[in-house]
Amino acid sequence: METFAELKPDASARITVDPLLAAFIENEVIPGTGVDPGRFWSGLDALIAEFEPRNRALLRERDRLQAEIDAWHVARRGEAFDLAAYRRFLEKIGYLGSEPPHFEVDVQGVDAEVAKLNGPQLVVPVTSARYALNAANARWGSLYDALYGTDALLPKADSAGHELDTSRATLVIDHVKGLLDRWIPLADGSHSDVVSYRIAGGALECRLSNGEARGLLDAAAFVGHRGPEERPEHVYIKHHGLHIDLAFDPDTPSGRLDPAGMSDVVLEAALTTIVDFEDSVATVDVQDKIPAYRDWLGLMKGTLRAAVRKGGGEIERRLADDRSMIGTDGRETSLPGRSLLLVRNVGQHVKTDMVLTKDGDPVSEAFIDAAVTTLIGLHDLRGEHRGLNSRAGSIYVVKPKMHGADEVQLAVDLFARLEEIYGLSSNTIKIGIMDEERRMSANLRAALNVARHRVFFINTGFLDRTGDEIHTAMEAGPVVPKTTMKSQPWLRAYEERNVVTGLNAGLDRKGQIGKGMWTATDRMADMIAQKGAQLRAGASTAWVPSPTAAVLHAIHYHGIDVRDVQSGLRSAPLPPVTELLTPSLADPDRLTEAVVRSELDNNVQSLLGYVVRWIDQGVGCSKVPDINGIDLMEDRATLRISSQHIANWLLHGVISAAQVDESLRRMAVLVDRQNAEDTAYIPMSPGFDGIAFRTARDLIFDARTQPNGYTEFLLAAGRAGRKKLG
Ligand SMILES: CC(=O)SCCNC(=O)CCNC(=O)[C@H](O)C(C)(C)COP(=O)(O)OP(=O)(O)OC[C@H]1O[C@@H](n2cnc3c(N)ncnc32)[C@H](O)[C@@H]1OP(=O)(O)O
Ligand SMILES: O=CC(=O)O
Ligand SMILES: [Mg+2]
């Protein structure tokens, strides 16, 4: 295949494109988009010429500010921290910008799942077609399965998946009937007393065991059914904007336990899904990126397939169809069958050699992601696959790790340029702003204002944000242990300011005010107990790591009226920026030997457990047990926290280099043991000299010098080295 320079007749090209990427775009992506290949390539060429220098300047500005902040702290070592002086200093160096006057977000063409409805947001690594399809289909999920198969009600059973445990199933059914009584009560009586559900005169009629008939207290909540009216197979009810599917099949094990033959309660769960090209994947070269782009292409065209082996057989997983039903007017209608897909691009600091400048320098991978993922998104807007994803005709790009308004302005301009190249109307490409860097949090109103015509969400990515918190204040002193971070003033101020800022700009009525990930993947009882707090704090949506978690998190949206909460918070005061800027410095007396050792081991274990799979197997998101044996989702953001935390304690003498090395070796043995069942796993011990182990060590010892504490540079170098070894 020719390179771009060869493809372009006038030889004035300022970029060189990897032939594999060029071929993929020409042969697989562009056909059907209505975009002329020449226009795409010359547009990309011009875009990079325009934006690359601008981006480099913005990255230099990040470095300048961090260097100034480091120097400020170093000059004041041993002095009491002076918050007022610190604030003045941040204003002086341009870290804290000016606040814009009042404005309202004014974004058009946003799908209901984002602008009107409130429900879980799922995140999925794009590199697994199997998971990505599962995520897209996680719009609907079985509440019975989610409660039965997890620790939600009872400790997780070993027998799950084999023969039905009747007493466990009965507990689930009783629990769900209790939920239905709260969410969609009968006019009188309980769903647990209903022996049959039928449709009569366009309404739902529920017959009780005493023979009496009841309707729903809110009769209008019934929206449709499938199957015969006398014995419906599905009854659809709407509550807080979310659909509930009462499924009936008396011949199933669960249906047999229910006098009404109700076999499942299926919830509308992941309204939106972020298909992630960023922190949950390990894509370091064109060979990794093309399959990732191809998965996104398959999602946008509806052609993605994955073979799934289960219970001895193999099924082909594909995108779910919409759900057809008979509405209350007797007409055939449908409900969306798939989650609305959003795509997360990489951060502006990541470079790729898939495209080189004329000087042979790698360009910002975010530009290539933006160009390719939106080009792919055109399949949803035009041609034969139109409307499969966005009914409102938008492409939703989540932009991570931006630092303040100038960087958002670059993203806004970048998307405007892409719209010109693709012949799209202005603001078709929407932008989701991750509020996950300290400078973004401190300048969120200005950033939101810049994107007000295309922003569809702000989201508190508290994991990256915690890593940046530690890195920014690296020189200020030793920070509190990781677990204590959650109760620090900055974090409260950060979460609250994000909500108040979003509400103040009317974002809740046009898009989402989102909150972060539940990382304890298998602790569903804890999630049910705790994750509702994010909604009570004003979130429109919050992140979950799996489809099962999405179903269980949906419970919160039925229990809490998000719109009411947000109305109540509309005039809440904005916590002062000084609270946001208060560093989380530890009280040295509290850093006992036991606390320090356990904190170090915990950080080292999660770091090693994640890095070894990243480097040796190219896995970007893993479940890694913490020191208490609790499985936690680890991705690059959680790695950023661990590496920065250890580096901070090293810098301030809380721990020594020898202690870190000793912990690394001890924990490597443990991580090897944890992965003993994995035949593809390469142990780190006893040599402790493989690329994975060395990269993990570098991530600690070089953490201070990594721009903003990002881990991707060292990870990518390690992975590239590992790939070379074959
Ligand atoms: C800070 C941030 O940026 S957070 C955002 C980035 N993080 C993420 O995207 C996390 C997404 N979650 C995941 O990748 C996974 O859940 C992990 C890696 C945490 C755990 O994965 P596993 O150990 O394989 O999970 P587990 O064995 O419990 O479950 C596997 C099943 O759940 C499904 N599943 C798990 N997570 C997801 C998901 N996010 N989307 C879709 N399906 C999923 C799988 O498809 C599989 O089902 P299948 O056999 O029918 O295909
Ligand atoms: O991207 C999310 C985060 O928490 O970081
Ligand atoms: Mg993040």
pLDDT tens digits along 611-669:
999 999 999 999 999 989 999 999 999 999 999 999 999 999 999 999 999 999 999 99
List, run by run, the mean pLDDT of 10-residue segments along the chain (726 residues): 46 87 98 96 96 98 98 96 97 97 98 98 98 98 98 85 88 98 97 98 96 97 98 98 98 97 98 99 98 98 96 94 97 98 98 95 98 98 93 98 98 98 98 98 98 98 97 98 94 98 98 98 98 98 98 99 97 96 94 97 98 98 93 98 98 98 98 96 98 98 98 98 94
| Ligand 2 lined by 123 (C-beta under 6 Å) | no
- Listed in order, strand segments (DSSP E) in 171-248 are 194-200, 203-208, 213-214, 222-226, 234-239, 242-248
Nearest alpha carbon, ligand 1 atom 27: 623
Q: Which atom of ligand 1 is nearest to the CA of 622?
A: 18
Rounded distance between C-alpha atoms, residue 84 and residue 576, angstroms: 12
Q: Is the CB of 462 under 6 A from ligand 2?
A: yes
Query: What residues does 63 pair with on adjacent strands?
Result: none
Closest ligand 2 atom, residue 400 Cα = 1
545 lines ligand 2 (CB under 6 A): no
Ligand 2 centre distance from Cα of residue 466 (Å) = 9
Which letter does DSSP use for residue 479 in this model?
B
Bridge pairing between strands 242-248 and 262-268:
antiparallel
pTM score of the predicted model: 0.98
Query: Which listed ligand is nearest to 516 at the C-alpha?
Result: 2
Q: Whose CA is nearest to atom 3 of ligand 2?
A: 461
Ligand 3 center to residue 464 CA distance, Å?
5
H helix and E strand count, the chain: 28, 25
**Ligand 2 neighbourhood includes 434 CB (under 6 angstroms):** yes
Looking at residue 161, its pLDDT comes to 56
* pLDDT given for residue 2 in this prediction: 43
Q: How far apart are CA 660 and CA 664, in angstroms?
A: 6
- 452: annotated binding-site residue? no
Annotated binding-site residue? 294: no
Where do we find the tokens 């103040």? 504
Q: Which atom of ligand 2 is nearest to the CA of 543?
A: 2
Q: Is 464 annotated as a binding residue?
A: yes
Distance CA 296, CA 294 (A): 5
pLDDT value for 632: 97
Atom of ligand 1 nearest to the CA of 276: 9
- Known binding residue 436? Answer is yes
Element (H or E) spanning 340, and its range?
A: strand 340-344
pLDDT at site 312: 85
Which ranges of 126-252 would DSSP assign to H, the alpha helix? 129-136, 143-148, 166-183
Instruction: Write the residue with the smallest CA distance to atom 1 of ligand 2.
Output: 461
Strands 121-125 and 541-544: parallel
Ligand 1 centroid distance, CA of 545 (Å): 6
440 C-beta closer than 6 A to ligand 2: no
Q: Which residues line ligand 1 (CB under 6 A)?
A: 122-125, 130-131, 134-135, 276, 279-280, 308, 461, 463, 517, 521, 545-547, 621-623, 633, 635, 637
Q: Which residues contact 694 (CB under 8 A, 6 or more apart)?
A: 718
pLDDT of residue 6: 47
Ligand 1 atom 20, closest CA: 623
Residues 268 and 119: their CA atoms lie apart, in Å, by 8
Point out the ligand 1 atom lying closest to the alpha carbon of residue 634.
19
- Atom 35 of ligand 1, nearest CA residue: 546
- Residue 280 marked in a binding site: yes
Most informative mutation of 345, 458, 491, 517 for ligand 2 (most atoms within 8 A of CB): 517
Residues 199/205, Cβ–Cβ less than 8 Å: yes
Atom 4 of ligand 2, nearest CA residue? 461
- Angstrom distance (rounded) from CA 357 to CA 443: 32
Whether 524 is in the pocket of ligand 2, judged by its Cβ within 6 Å, is no
Give 73-83 pLDDT, tens digit per residue: 999 999 999 99
Asked whether residue 462 is marked as a ligand-binding residue, the answer is yes
Residues annotated as catalytic (active site), given as ranges:
344, 635
388 Cβ contact partners less than 8 Å away, ≥ 6 residues apart: 300, 301, 302, 319, 338, 380
Q: Which of 126, 128, 134, 613 to mutate to test the pocket of ligand 1 (most atoms within 8 A of CB)?
A: 134
344 is in an annotated binding site: yes
The best mutation among 276, 401, 462, 494 to test binding of ligand 2, ranked by most ligand atoms within 8 Å of the C-beta, falls on: 462
**Distance of CA 400 from the midpoint of ligand 3 (Å):** 6
Q: With a 6 A CB cut-off, is 637 part of the ligand 2 pocket?
A: yes
Ligand 2 mean position to 10 CA, how many Å? 44
Q: Which ligand is nearest to the CA of 401?
A: 3
Asked whether the CA dihedral 148, 150, 153, 158 is positive or negative, the reply is positive
Domains identified in the chain and CATH numbers: 91-140+272-580 (3.20.20.360), 164-268 (2.170.170.11), 588-725 (1.20.1220.12)
398 CA to centre of ligand 1 in angstroms: 19
Residue 568 Cα to ligand 2 middle (Å): 27
Residue 293 labeled ligand binder: no
Q: Which residues make beta-bridge pairs with 247? A: 234, 264
The Cα–Cα gap between 362 and 285 comes to 11
Q: How far is the CA of 638 from the centre of ligand 2 (A)?
A: 8
Residues 96, 439: Cα–Cα separation, whole Å: 7
516 ligand 2 Cβ < 6 A: yes
